[in-house]
Amino acid sequence: MKRFVTALVAVLAMTGTAWAQATFPTKDVRFINGFPAGGSSDIIGRLLAEQFTKQIGRTVVVDNKAGASGMIAALETAKSPPDGHTILLASMAMMTVLPQMVKTNIDVDKDLTTIGNVAGVYNILVVGRDTTFKDWKDVADAAKANPEKVTCATVGSGSSQQLSCALFMALTGTKLTQVPYRGGAPAIVDMTGGRVDLMWGNMPEFMGQIRGGGLRAIGYGADSASPLLPEVPVISKTGLKDFVIHNWFGLVGPGGMSPEMVKFWNDQLVKAVSSPELKQKFADNGLQIVVGTKEQFDKEIAEDRLKWGKIIRDFNIKPEN
């Protein structure tokens, strides 16, 4: 009898999962994005929404809720029913950096449900065309010889640009002067004009100037090279092994989402990135595919919190007023 009951429970569980997946979705899906149109987050979101729409038989609608470094979108997601019809493209900063810098309006661990990592944006080091730097070692040597003379453009407190610069200083024992900007565009203008020396950031933002000759790429902060610029060396593989910047975007839902619904969306992610068409579009836009399980995603979040938490404390990085 005990074996019979156990078997019956297992069958019912499987039946329930199959039923849930067979009847879902019952309406269009809202895919919330915390950043404005045109950036890497928006590109990832729209490419995925297009592919998801093909896969699930319902329209997946991108809803940009920009502001507060993505936390407005996170709050909007947290307030939604955890029935799978609302999902969010969450950033690395949203899940690991901001909760350690500011008092956020939600608890990302309790009010959101992690589903899986999606994509990484290649982090790359660029310099002005008239600088003499050929690689990261030249930057470190110059900074050691003339502390605080080498200038590094950053975009926002706690941004990947600022964290990259701080991590480089921590690992090389150097001091660079950080020059803060309100956005990537004015920073790039000043670099092409020779008013600031270098900048780490998302490769897609620099491609126009790199191709046009206004900027030179001298190293990847990412753990591998992009097919778009395969000749550029990877910093962690050329002597600074701990310098790895994972600027990722992952899929999350409202808190309380069922394991069956998490599996549904994780399965859709895996299926989406298996599409040759989507793979090519990601590569064309300077994006890495980093899809894995929910457990792998949770592990990466925990590791990045430790890594960036130390940098935030050591460099006394504070939120902007």
What band does 180 get if pLDDT is binned at 50, 70 and 90?
very high
pLDDT at 155 over 80: yes
| Whether the predicted pLDDT of 2 surpasses 60 | no
Residue 30 is assigned to a structural domain of this protein: yes
pLDDT score, position 107: 96
Strands 123-128 and 198-202 turn out to be antiparallel
Predicted confidence (pLDDT) at residue 49 exceeds the cutoff of 70: yes
Does residue 228 belong to any structural domain of this protein? no
Contact 246, 304 (CB under 8 A): yes
Report the share of the chain in percent with pLDDT over 70. Answer: 93
Instruction: Examine the fold and report which residue of 220, 237, 255 is the final residue of a domain before the chain moves on.
Output: 220
Q: Is the pLDDT of residue 7 over 70?
A: no
Q: Among the three residues 183, 204, 220, which one is the final residue of a domain in this structure?
A: 220
Q: Would the pLDDT of 11 be above 90?
A: no
| Same-domain status, 128 and 216 | yes
Q: For 50-72, what is the mean pLDDT?
A: 95
Do 170 and 261 have their domain in common? no
- Tokens standing for 252? 């999350």
Instruction: Calculate mean pLDDT across residues 112-136.
Output: 96
Asked if residue 225 belongs to a domain, the reply is no
Say yes or no: 147 and 109 in one domain. no
Nearest to 245 by CA among 179, 300, 176: 300
Using one digit for the tens of pLDDT, what is the confidence trace for 78-111?
A: 999 999 999 999 999 999 999 999 888 899 999 9
* 293 in the same domain as 146: no
Write the secondary structure of 242-262 as one string of H (helix), E (strand) and C (coil).
CCCCCEEEEEEEECCCCHHHH
As to burial, measured by CB atoms within 10 angstroms (0-12 exposed, 13-18 middle, 19+ buried), residue 14 is exposed
Residues 179 and 255 in one domain: no
What element of type H or E holds 61?
strand 60-64
Among 68-72, 170-174, 219-223, the range scoring the smallest mean pLDDT is 68-72
Q: Which domain holds residue 253?
A: 17-121+246-314
- Per-residue model confidence as pLDDT tens digits over 291-320: 999 999 999 999 999 999 999 999 999 887
pLDDT tens column, 194-205: 999 999 999 988
Tell me: do 210 and 260 sit in the same domain: no
Would 240 be classed as within a structural domain?
Answer: no
d(CA 150, CA 143): 6
Task: Identify whether 199 is part of a domain.
Answer: yes
Q: Are residues 208 and 252 in the same domain?
A: no
CATH (domain of 148): 3.40.190.10
Q: Does 136 lie in the same domain as 81?
A: no
The tokens of 319 are what? 């939120």
Spatial distance between the Cα atoms of 188 and 215, rounded to a whole number of angstroms: 8
The reply to whether 185 and 136 lie within a common domain is yes
Tell whether the model's pLDDT for residue 9 goes beyond 70. no
Average predicted confidence (pLDDT) for the chain? 91
pLDDT digits (tens, 9 = 90+) for 185-242: 899 999 999 999 999 999 988 999 999 999 999 999 999 999 999 999 999 999 999 9
pLDDT at 321: 61
| pLDDT for res 23 | 82
Q: What is the pLDDT of residue 22?
A: 61
Residue 106 domain flag:
yes
Q: Please report whether residue 216 resides in a domain.
A: yes
Find, among 184, 179, 172, the residue nearest to 151 by Cα. 179
Do 21 and 110 belong together in one domain? yes
Give 29: exposed, middle or buried? Use CB within 10 Å, 0-12, 13-18, 19+.
buried
Structural contact between residues 158 and 312, judged by C-beta atoms closer than 8 angstroms: yes
- C-alpha distance from residue 58 to each of 99, 110, 277 (Å): 34, 28, 20
Number of domains the chain contains: 2
**Four-point Cα dihedral 35, 36, 42, 43, nearest 10:** -140
112 and 162 inside one domain: no
